[in-house]
Structure 1
């Protein structure tokens, strides 16, 4: 599906095209040269095919018009003090880049093609100033039309463009958000731009995740707890089967498209994007709420990319998020898109294969590695602890129990159940392998259990008391 052009941008460009510019007066004032005006008039307000033929016949001349050359100013330099002329030139160049693909490559062959454009992105901090917005559109078309991945593009231009576009995605105006997201999508045409996009993720990815969380009805302050509550069936406001947060379908689709493009770098970023943004949980929740087949397709395809390339780390989280059960429910829906059906089958097969070979111990390890505990079957299963407590303490030189300690150190203000479950697990470890209690004490677990006895939450207090009972029982028995 092609995204509709953002109405905000289309209206702005239309208004600029309709303005009458006193070109002859601009020449007399020295704003333009006769040569520059001749080239502008040859392609301004003419049919697309005439425009294409004119530019292709004089590529060097039009390249020089817009970016200059030694000893000859570009039209943007010449007209720098005339904002109306600069706006007109930017819209004209945007139109030419649409009509004449060869112009992009010709411009980028210049020694410093971005010299006159990048400063215009910082022309003003006022979001109503059209020059930065029109400039970003030109730069995006220039890069996407040439699919350039040169050091000048990736190292110099893209970081500045991404920073500017991030200001649009963080704006409260949905029209500006649409423009920022669509221009992101146009720029993620290859591996190098996608890697740079991820490198700047605090600017680029984080605002998009915030939009997706809003659509899922999840606040950013308690996103993880809210998502786990949804995954475990503990419904709360925002999990009522429909999108929320005032996120329009066009914006939602645009954000999902950008994240899908980014997911092709899943081998490099998969673990980090899940650790930082709970992407598997978030996408599972969005899949439950997906309003259209086209959004469902992007959600499924993104999950498939990430899970396929990070099976050891992300498949356990997908199971904890109850993605397999959700896919079974979706199987009953009659999707028309054959690619969606194919990706869904592949994702279902991937998860089925994993769950067939997964033991209860694997399930517990996956839950620890997810960084979030829930009342899954292993926690209350006495046989599980009898068989696996020592294994948990010894596995990976104690890495699992250190992970449990890391989880317990957090306050979990929005999900106190995690602390109750952790206390339960500590108590089980002490009761099953009392001679290893010093290992737990060195990690600060006994101290933390004692601290949690003062928690306001009744369940946390009860589980911490039970856990401490294991230490007290051992101490009492050893004095007999």
Structure 2
């Protein structure tokens, strides 16, 4: 049978030849007599014998384990001791009786931890834990009798079981069970921390489902609670993922004893170091509020919840955003919380990165080398790029810390988020932290920004045209007038048009042959080319000069002519029909009187009709034609 699967009952069914051991003087005659009275007897008889002569039986059992090495006999004696102590753990005090002051009751069990099979190791460990816990105390101090070496040896074996258990399913539980009872001892705490055993507990903190795993989780959390009273252990707990795992446990666990021990641990750690900031970041205030709504029967748990809630409220008031960010970075596990992308945070706290010789920035660079979490790598790259952008000397500082090589390695990362932020960091590292932006307006551009880099190079960005909707289909120019032609013709109705100012002539517009929206015109990456005007032909220009009208020409040509001549010139107009045509036809014609007619043609009509307003109207009417307005009345001739 596999020795690891042996039970106490199976071992106690064996018949041990005690007489043979007496003949070989491994057992004394008195010892044989005690064994015959004790062995194979019912529990009540054994209990009476232990009450009467307990130290003698302890001395006998320890002597057998020290002198006899046969495996079956060792297993049998360990089963007797285990059964004795499991029935009444207070019997462990018998191992510290004054009559055994010169007896080393620890040595046999400590030796068997490393040399026996799993049954022997397991029972020796449990018995040794019971014996150590039952040591007598003088006042507040525990009486030591070479116990320190024993405790260190036991802790060493327990850590070995956590690293590489001797039994696949029972090695870790037995080690955690013993630690939960031994970590009350300061020597055990010190030895356990020195053996780097705290980090062996952290992976065991996870939500459990089965009864066996719940017990293991409870004992593991109990170990963490005991370590929360030891300062060196607290330092490690602050830099590991202990708080995150405990938060997940208390969030999903329904077992009251598990919740109680975790809440008590939180209460112990809240006023120490950076644990308060971690609890706030992990959303523990909301979890505590949710737990208080449940029905708990443990008064200690309810008191701890109230105290923890009040403590977290005070901690939230004291914490600044950079303190929370600092703790997150020091933990080495980054996430996309609002601080990373908040502009005000970086503007207000970018100088805080200079503390302790840029400690936080160096930790971010270390995360790039050591972390395997894609989210942490992406956030670290983004934070470094933010530092480059907002710090006055960010690019120089990051370059001096050799960050470029580290970030370049992540550009080809399998995670797209890491690649994206690594490229962003490299871009800001190469372009620099500060640029000078020049705003200006040109003839052809409505608005643009010119960026001058530290290297002296320039580029134009964000330039816009003047809401252009048309483009000339002939020369593709942006700035000439819509009526532009190399040899300008006479305006169609120069008498009714205002003189065009230079700014309106040069106003940007486009031809109607190419209609498009603002979004359909692609945004240029470089400034548009300046199209050179067509070459000037002096001969053609000289020949075309007589055809260009001037203000004086208009005044002389149209302003001083008689009204009848003007009516003949514009005989096709419906507003000013010639008077001769009206008289010859002998019929009455209706025409509209607008602003132009009222100033010119209407004067003839009013003169003939003897209108008294004629003189006043003539005094105020200009010689040049006015702006045509809609007709206000109709006159019948």
TM range (shorter): 0.7 to 0.9
Conserved? CA contact 1:36–1:75, under 8 Å: no
Conserved? CA contact 1:94–1:138, under 8 Å: yes
1:455 maps to 2:418: no
Structure 1 or 2: more helix by fraction: 1
Counterpart Cα distance in 2 of 1:360 and 1:206: 29
Counterpart Cα distance in 1 of 2:103 and 2:17: 32
Structure 1 or 2: more strand by fraction: 2
Where does structure 1 differ by over 4 angstroms across 4 or more consecutive aligned residues? 8-11, 61-64, 166-169, 244-247, 473-476
Q: Could you say which residue in structure 2 is the equivalent of 1:226?
A: none
CA deviations over 1:393-419 (Å, ceiling 9, x no partner) = x22332222222222333x43x32222
Aligned equivalent of 2:9, options 2, 8, 14: 14
Distance 1:468 1:100, change over 3 A: closer
Q: Which structure's CA Rg is the greater one? A: 2
Conserved? CA contact 1:188–1:262, under 8 Å: yes
Conserved? CA contact 1:32–1:79, under 8 Å: no
- Secondary structure of residue in 1 paired with 2:453: helix
Residues 94-105 of structure 1 correspond to what in structure 2 (within 5 A)? 94-96=82-84, 98=89, 100-105=91-96
Distance 1:439 1:103, change over 3 A: same
Counterpart Cα distance in 1 of 2:417 and 2:340: 15
CA deviations over 1:20-59 (Å, ceiling 9, x no partner) = 3343344345442212112334444353552233225xx4
CA deviations over 1:338-359 (Å, ceiling 9, x no partner) = 1111112222222221111222
Conserved? CA contact 1:271–1:314, under 8 Å: no
Q: Could you say which residue in structure 2 is the equivalent of 1:47?
A: 45
Residues 286-365 of structure 1 correspond to what in structure 2 (within 5 A)? 286-308=249-271, 310=272, 312-365=273-326
Alignment RMSD, CA only?
3.1
Distance 1:92 1:359, change over 3 A: same
CA displacement at 1:306 relative to structure 2: 2.7
Q: Could you say which residue in structure 1 is the equivalent of 2:69?
A: 80
CA displacement at 1:167 relative to structure 2: 5.4
Residues 20-35 of structure 1 correspond to what in structure 2 (within 5 A)? 20-35=15-30
Counterpart Cα distance in 2 of 1:10 and 1:459: 51
Q: 5+ residue gaps in structure 2?
A: 137-141, 436-451, 457-637
Distance 1:441 1:9, change over 3 A: same
Q: Could you say which residue in structure 1 is the equivalent of 2:228?
A: 263
- Pick 1 or 2: higher relative contact order, CA cutoff 8 A, min separation 6: 1
Conserved? CA contact 2:202–2:241, under 8 Å: no
Aligned equivalent of 1:441, options 384, 396, 399: 399
Q: 5+ residue gaps in structure 1?
A: 1-7, 68-73, 217-242
CA displacement at 1:247 relative to structure 2: 5.9
Aligned equivalent of 1:366, options 327, 336, 340: 327
TM-score by length of 2: 0.60
1:253 maps to 2:211: no
CA displacement at 1:281 relative to structure 2: 0.7
1:389 maps to 2:350: yes
Counterpart Cα distance in 2 of 1:162 and 1:389: 46
TM-score by length of 1: 0.78
- Secondary structure of residue in 2 paired with 1:117: helix
